[in-house]
Amino acid sequence: MKSPFALTLLAAALAAAPALSRADESRWESMHVYTLSAGNPVAVVIPSEWTPLSVGSYLGDAPALRFRDAAGAEIAIPVAALERASADKRVFRPDLAKRVARNER
């Protein structure tokens, strides 16, 4: 079978195989927009496995924004980091290699 179409499909499958084999990496992200106490909005991009522990989008006087990851560990993002991101007019994306704060239950 020397069809150019079949060779193209085979090449595409071989090129995609290494990317599909990394199942442990976070692939999907979701964006949540929160309002800080001063009224400034900030967007936070998190892995889709994380679930927010706080209800609502207004942070008020909360010291941190809290999430729970797929393993059940609690992740806290300090509001000070969100205020810096809001002042720079950008999206806050937590570093997954070193968690901002991690509390084991």
pLDDT tens readout for residues 53-90:
977 889 888 899 999 998 999 999 999 888 888 887 76
CB 80 within 8 A of CB 93: no
Residue type, 14: L
Bridge partners, residue 43, by sequence:
33
Element (H, E) at 98: none
Note the pTM of the prediction, 2 decimals: 0.59
Confidence of residue 3 (pLDDT cuts 50, 70, 90): low
CA distance 75 to 92: 14
Output the pLDDT for position 72: 92
Residue 35 dihedral angles phi and psi, to the nearest 5°: -110, 125
